[in-house]
Amino acid sequence: GQQHGPMLLLSGGADGVAPPATNQKPVFDAAAMPVTWLTEQRAGHLAPMRDGGAYKAALTAWFLYQLDGDQTAGAMFSGDRCGYCTAAGWTVEARGGG
């Protein structure tokens, strides 16, 4: 089905199984709704296994922001100085709000 709300894409910059350029980028480019794409540059394909790794905090903040309107959590994704925008090892691309 079609996307109906803001989307968070997560990728690992060191993922050789599903490289971001061929997997997340086409989804980001085609998204018709607000989309935020976080890449943890050192993460490989299996990084989120078990406890979520570096992605656990990002997912928790995203859900708090999107589902509960938590503006502190939202500051991790929104604006030029967003938490993940300035965090070492992360890159952020966003379009359409987020």
Going 57 to 25 to 86 to 98, the CA torsion angle's sign is negative
CA dihedral (10, 11, 12, 18) in degrees, to 10, reads 140
Residue 51 to residues 1, 10, 36, 55, 59: CA-CA distances in angstroms?
29, 15, 22, 9, 12
> Helix, strand, coil: what percent of the chain each, to 5?
35, 20, 50
Residue-level pLDDT at 25: 96
35-86 pLDDT per residue, tens:
999 999 988 887 877 787 889 999 999 999 999 999 999 999 988 799 999 9
pLDDT value of residue 80:
79
